[in-house]
Amino acid sequence: MNNAEGRIKSEEGSRIHQGCRQLCTALYSSVIILYSSFLLLACGEPKQAKKVEPYNGPIEEINDVRLLYSEAAMLKVKLTTAKQYRYVNDNRTYPKPVNIVFYGPKGEEVTTLQSDSGRYDKAKDLYTVMGHVVVVNKQKQEKLLTPELNWNPITKKVYTDKRVEIISQLSGEKLYGLGLDANQDFSQYSIRKPTGVFNVEGGPGL
């Protein structure tokens, strides 16, 4: 009888010990699963996307630029500059000095233009030169000085709303004003707001 009771108690103890082991194993597995789930959730949190700024820089660089405008196989305008940058909207900038020559009906040089830099607006089909802009009409022997000048190859007009100074070698006269409209060869012009006239004896050279 005592032996039977001992075996029963031993079996009960073994079952209790086994149950504890199973419970501990289950708890340990649950902890591992919870920890793994936490790691997955932490890693899976969406990161805030960085705002990407659109690229607005040049897409093409050209050296030693030479642009020619002709009519009826006759050269009318030649633009040269050391560097050109072209952008995605087909606008262009000219960071180096810009030189433009306007030709007459017989192919002769009528007017020259020099500037420190320039740009081209594709949508407006408009060239703008900036800096120390100097325009010289060789036939009339007149020189225009202005900080900015616009040229439209379609209308063949040049204009500016900046200050202007016109110097005549023939009369020695200097005209000052604000704003100007002219033919591209500078054969005719009109100062929008004249501000003064100054006569110089002997006339300045061009």
What integer best gives the mean pLDDT of the chain? Answer: 83
How confident is the model at residue 22, as a pLDDT? Answer: 59
Considering the domain boundaries, does residue 159 fall inside one?
yes
- Same domain? For 103 and 22 the reply is no
Number of domains in the chain: 2
pLDDT at 10 over 90: no
Q: Which of 12 and 128 is assigned the larger pLDDT?
A: 128
User: Residue 66: which residues within 8 A CB-CB, separation 6 or more?
Assistant: 78, 79, 80
- Same domain? For 111 and 145 the reply is yes
DSSP state of 24: H
Considering the domain boundaries, does residue 206 fall inside one?
no
Residue 29's pLDDT band (cuts 50, 70, 90): low
- Same domain? For 1 and 84 the reply is no
Q: How large a percentage of the chain has pLDDT more than 70? A: 72
- Same domain? For 107 and 188 the reply is yes
Residue 173 sits in a domain of what CATH number? Answer: 2.60.450.10
- Same domain? For 25 and 73 the reply is no
- Same domain? For 173 and 83 the reply is yes
Secondary structure (DSSP) of 133-194: EEEEETTTTEEEEEEEEEEETTTTEEEEEEEEEEEETTT-EEEEEEEEEEETTSSSEEEEEE
158-205 tens-digit pLDDT:
999 999 999 998 888 999 999 999 999 898 999 999 988 877 554 444
pLDDT at 89 over 80: yes
Residue with tokens 């929008």: 192
- State the residue range of the domain holding 182: 60-199
Phi, psi angles (nearest 5°) of residue 199: -95, 135
CA distance 9 to 76: 118
H or E stretch at 54: none
